[in-house]
């Protein structure tokens, strides 16, 4: 079920009404309703994969108790190893079997060795990378004695499957979200209003910005040899905007939906394109994933406490694994590698004690260019497509960057692929305004401080804009569902 679908427009109010009709004292009944709704929400994609999420939940619930009760360190470590093998085994089989099997076949073929390793026709379960990481962090934190295990299987299963953030995060930690399922929840009208504002803001970013850019981006990257110069440059820049509005939009809808049920989810994005370094970018982009890799990969590898060589290896391994987490393709590994090397260079270059305005602007432009260039590998289907975009596409830009015909041709292609494309520029201006305000203020909270008449005037204008220029004819899947 998609957040931007008509089905969800009926599903959410129904679950919301049933949830708050249940008396607050009947906590298990509310959690049971949320669990049933979450399994229904997930099962609409493919009910056969419900068994995976149930197995992952029950497996880590049992192993969490076993780790806590184990009397010696060896047994604790053994139970943790079972959890890691179980979760990563499921993830590895469905997501990475063909990648590693194909790589092995190619490697052996280079030495003239024939291999019978079989590639499998496997469907990737939606959201598997998210809920396995969320469940796995629970057992790791119990092993590290950062949290106590829960004895409530219902609460834990609901924590893993909670439908607002089940498919694409934020990847929550048990110490933050799990206790909320064990505590009484009282309806808070202010929190619900904030939630509705976040839902609409997320839908606006997704439907008005991301989905209107999608046809043009898909055409260029899908036919990487056919376009050059300004047209390709637009596609690369637009993809950076598309993926941000798509994923940040999902996160805002998820956080807003959770608010309606009395839950708090962590912030997942914080105006990342205002970053002045790659390090800062990753403190603003997909925060739940970057902090997960920091806590469970980077720091266990030694972080910056084991010498410079160990630190460099820890950074590169973390970013390469982060790239591989996004997809079983070498393009994602290269994407992670670009960020890893850029991160290292940014840390090694001497920094001024006092950052001037010029240095901040230069850092912002450099960071944006690195991030935008790296998106080529993230979006390209293959390494050949990425090469075509860079060499054939961007490599010819000097010849038509200042050509009026080239710009006109690019705009004509946009309008041909999407009749609403003529409104992309003003829609982008609205988006940029949102981002500038969000950099300094809580946008959803700030709206409540605007006088009622002005606030509702803005609402009506944005609603009209949404229905007039949003890509609402067909609900497009969120990009991060494929991960």
Report, as residue numbers or ranges, the catalytic residues: 326
Tokens of 466: 């949404």
Residues 142 and 313: their CA atoms lie apart, in Å, by 27
Please, which residues have CB within 8 angstroms of residue 263's CB and are 6 or more apart in sequence? Answer: 162, 164, 177, 180, 185
Angle at 42 between CA 41 and CA 48, to 5 degrees: 135
Please, which residues have CB within 8 angstroms of residue 58's CB and are 6 or more apart in sequence? Answer: 153, 157
Contact 110, 28 (CB under 8 A): no
Contact 246, 482 (CB under 8 A): no
The structure tokens 């994923």 sit at 247
Question: Chain-centre distance of CA 16, in angstroms?
Answer: 25
Residues 458 and 252: their CA atoms lie apart, in Å, by 19
Residues 294 and 88: their CA atoms lie apart, in Å, by 18
Tokens of 357: 């305005």
- Tell me how far apart the 2 most distant CA atoms of the chain are, in Å: 75
The structure tokens 């200042």 sit at 402
397, HSE (Cβ side, Cα atoms, 13 Å): 16
Residues in the chain, how many? Answer: 483
CA distances, 28 to each of 19, 33, 112, 393 (Å): 11, 9, 61, 57
Contact 58, 157 (CB under 8 A): yes
Radius of gyration of the chain (CA): 24
């Amino acid at each position: 079920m998609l957040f931007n679908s008509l089905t969800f427009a009926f599903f959410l109010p129904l679950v919301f009404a049933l949830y708050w009709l249940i008396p607050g004292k009947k906590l298990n009944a509310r959690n049971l309703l949320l669990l049933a709704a979450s399994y229904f929400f997930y099962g609409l994609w493919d009910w056969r994969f419900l068994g995976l999420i149930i197995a992952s939940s029950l497996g880590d619930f049992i192993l969490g108790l076993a780790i806590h009760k184990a009397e010696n360190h060896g047994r604790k470590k053994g139970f943790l190893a079972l959890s890691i093998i179980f979760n990563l085994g499921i993830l590895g089989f469905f997501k990475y079997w063909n990648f590693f099997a194909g790589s092995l076949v190619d490697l052996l073929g280079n030495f003239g060795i024939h291999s019978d390793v079989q590639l499998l026709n496997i469907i990737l379960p939606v959201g598997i990378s998210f809920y396995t990481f969320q469940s796995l962090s629970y057992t790791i934190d119990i092993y590290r004695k950062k949290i106590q295990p829960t004895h409530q299987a219902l609460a834990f299963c609901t924590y893993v499957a909670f439908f607002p953030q089940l498919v694409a995060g934020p990847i929550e930690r048990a110490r933050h979200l799990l206790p909320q399922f064990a505590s009484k929840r009282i309806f808070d009208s202010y929190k619900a209003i904030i939630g509705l504002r976040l839902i609409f803001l997320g839908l606006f970013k997704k439907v008005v910005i991301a989905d209107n850019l999608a046809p043009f981006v898909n055409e260029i990257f899908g036919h990487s040899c056919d376009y050059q110069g300004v047209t390709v440059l637009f596609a690369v820049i637009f993809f950076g905007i598309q993926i941000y509005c798509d994923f940040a939009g999902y996160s805002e809808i998820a956080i807003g939906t959770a608010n309606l049920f009395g839950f708090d989810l962590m912030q997942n994005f914080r105006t990342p394109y205002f970053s002045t370094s790659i390090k800062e970018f990753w403190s603003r982009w997909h925060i739940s994933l970057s902090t997960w890799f920091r806590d469970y990969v980077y720091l266990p590898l030694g972080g910056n406490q084991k010498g410079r060589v160990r630190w460099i290896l820890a950074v590169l391994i973390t970013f390469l694994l982060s790239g591989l987490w996004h997809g079983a393709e070498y393009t994602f590994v290269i994407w992670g590698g670009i960020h890893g090397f850029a991160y290292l260079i940014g840390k090694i270059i001497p920094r001024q004690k006092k950052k001037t305005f010029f240095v901040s602007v230069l850092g912002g432009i450099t960071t944006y260019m690195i991030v935008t260039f790296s998106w080529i590998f993230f979006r390209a289907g293959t390494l050949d497509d990425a090469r075509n975009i860079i060499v054939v596409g961007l490599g010819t830009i000097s010849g038509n960057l200042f050509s009026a015909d080239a710009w006109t041709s690019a705009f004509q292609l946009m309008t041909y692929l999407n009749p609403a494309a003529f409104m992309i520029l003003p829609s982008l201006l609205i988006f940029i305004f949102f981002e500038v305000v969000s950099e300094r203020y809580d946008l959803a909270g700030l709206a409540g401080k605007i006088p009622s008449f002005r606030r509702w005037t803005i609402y009506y204008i944005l609603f009209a804009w949404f229905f007039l220029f949003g890509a609402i004819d067909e609900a497009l899947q969120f990009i991060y569902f494929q991960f």
